[in-house]
Structure 1
Amino acid sequence: MASELCKTISVARLEKHKNLFLNYRNLQHFPLELLKDEGLQYLERLYMKRNSLTTLPENLAQKLPNLVELYLHSNNIVVVPEAIGSLIKLQCLDLSDNALEIVCPEIGRLRALRHLRLANNQLQFLPPAEKVEAFNLSFVS
């Protein structure tokens, strides 16, 4: 499985794919291969639903700077790193069906964000309402 994953990511890097599907792979950790060297600079959409991820890397925005859509629903993510606020092109973020207890206020720095999905988490509180309204978000908890 690990070699198949590496091959998939290597092909995506070489062919400058804009979409990468890593759904249903039973991933427990974010694949380091995605963050290697310069990362996948051309990647715009990353699909990682129904894995077993618990965290996201701090350097996600650095290595995947052109992400427009990030689908992470149905994982076990507890915390979203503050660095998520640096994904300046991100328009859609799906974190539904995880184990989130809080949403970091850095989400408010995502000026392009239009759809934020947070259904079926263990949220204790949400970011301030003015941050949500300011970006015309579809904010579902």
Structure 2
Amino acid sequence: MGICSVMASELCKTISVARLEKHKNLFLNYRNLQHFPLELLKDEGLQYLERLYMKRNSLTTLPENLAQKLPNLVELYLHSNNIVVVPEAIGSLVKLQCLDLSDNALEIVCPEIGRLRALRHLRLANNQLQFLPP
């Protein structure tokens, strides 16, 4: 059964439908996800997706190929996870306007976040940040 085990089949179905119907919004809140769903990243990824909601899961990392697979993301909601580090690749999400990483376990924010020229809203409350990049 591979990645789409019975437990994950509902998730796979949700993502498959989003892929087929070219959804702009995808809601994956409260799914108890430990890992970023590989289904989102396979093949071309979800080229049409603009808003990804993944709050209140158990994510610890984000994939390096996020921008490559989800190039049109405008809003990314990741609050209330266990994310410790944001990959440098986040700086390649050129259309990103809203990034919510509040209530995570971030200790540092990579300076590449400064490359996000379209960014309007950045939420970092309730993390373990020692300092912010210049």
**TM bracket, shorter-chain basis:** over 0.9
RMSD across aligned C-alpha pairs, in angstroms? 0.4
* 1:127 Cα offset (Å): 1.3
Q: Which consecutive unaligned segments of at least 5 residues does structure 1 have?
A: 129-141
CA distance in 2, matches of 1:59, 1:111: 19
Aligned with 2:46 (options 13, 36, 40): 40
Aligned with 2:60 (options 54, 57, 79): 54
CA distance in 1, matches of 2:21, 2:120: 29
* 1:92 Cα offset (Å): 0.2
1:36-82 C-alpha deviation (Å, 9 max, x unpaired): 10000000000000000000000000000000000000000000000
CA distance in 1, matches of 2:95, 2:133: 20
Secondary structure of the residue aligned to 2:80 is coil
Secondary structure of the residue aligned to 1:36 is coil
1:105-137 C-alpha deviation (Å, 9 max, x unpaired): 000000000100000000011011xxxxxxxxx
Aligned-residue identity in percent:
99
CA distance in 2, matches of 1:86, 1:4: 30
Residue 83 of structure 2 is aligned to residue 81 of structure 1: no
Aligned with 2:70 (options 56, 60, 64): 64
CA distance in 2, matches of 1:125, 1:29: 26
Q: Which consecutive unaligned segments of at least 5 residues does structure 2 have?
A: 1-6
CA distance in 2, matches of 1:127, 1:110: 13
Give the TM-score normalised by structure 1: 0.90
Between structures 1 and 2, the one with greater helix share: 1
Residue 122 of structure 2 is aligned to residue 116 of structure 1: yes
* 1:21 Cα offset (Å): 0.1
